[in-house]
Structure 1
Amino acid sequence: MAVKVVAGFIEKDGKVLVVKRPAKKKRGGLWEFPGGKVENGESLQEALKRELKEELGVETWVGEVLAKTTYVYPEEEIELYLLLAKIKDEVCLLEPSEVRWVELKELENLTLCPADKVLLEKLTLVKNKK
């Protein structure tokens, strides 16, 4: 059964927030949209609010699902949801090894986690249709 994971698409001043995974974690050193695993009984929105508070120390408004993908890593299958989010505070570096605000077009130059790369491709397709 796939592990449900949420990620936030947080935009500010034309830039998107991405975080670098800690070296000691799976896929360490790769960039991703901030978020984490959904716990039992949590909605996607509740999970993202909790994860962003734990990882970045921010209060968050969470909106709709922008994109979804299922990705199979060697050790697990994940169902990854990218949700629109807005943060109310300045970001603190609690868990990620680095945070960065980048333009959407710059994201393709970062080494993203494979599942996040798929989400970015889906998101780009949706944005290009508008």
Structure 2
Amino acid sequence: MDTSPLLLVVAAALVDGGGRVLVQQRPAGKPMAGLWEFPGGKIEGGETPEAALARELHEELGIDVDPAAMAPLAFASEGLGGRHLLLMLYVVRAWDAVPEARHASALRWVTPAELRGLAMPPADAPLIGALERLLRG
């Protein structure tokens, strides 16, 4: 039985009108630097996943998202050093401003199929299939 501490993380698949998804590149000096990921971050004590994601999207991208506009899509479970990561992915289709890279090296709008060609963290990659199924249906 794995008794590693659980790390709860939320992420957003921001989907534009053309069915593209926003990803951000992890900056130099951070773990997994250079990899592309869905924006988001850790859930702090006392936060709901939706409140944490709204906070993270404001901090990382400068956008405001109504938690009621977030739809849970999928999750990934992955060992990460001495911890165990549980990553919850939400779909977001409405936000209030143009996203900007505040904590990332770059931002990029890509189709779900293009995600498969990007170097992504191990926990993000398994979520691509759920996005493909959602956006083609």
Residue in structure 1 matching 2:27, options 22, 42, 55: 22
Does the C-alpha gap of structure 1 residues 80 and 89 become closer, same or farther in structure 2, counting only changes over 3 Å? same
- Distance in 2, matches of 1:127 and 1:6, equals 18
- 1:76 paired residue number: 83
Give the unaligned 5+ runs of structure 1. none
> Which region of structure 1 is more displaced relative to structure 2, 14-23 or 69-78?
69-78
Relative to the length of structure 1, the TM-score reads: 0.90
Structure with greater proportional strand content: 1
Relative to the length of structure 2, the TM-score reads: 0.86
- Cα displacement (A) at 1:129: 9.7
1:35-54 deviations in Å (ceiling 9; x for gaps): 00000000111000000100
- Cα displacement (A) at 1:75: 4.3
Residue in structure 2 matching 1:64, options 53, 68, 71: 71
User: SS at 2:119's partner residue?
Assistant: coil
Cα-Cα RMSD: 1.8
1:61-85 deviations in Å (ceiling 9; x for gaps): 3422100111112343110000111
Larger Rg: 2
* Count of residue pairs brought into register by the alignment: 129
Percent of paired sites with the same residue: 37
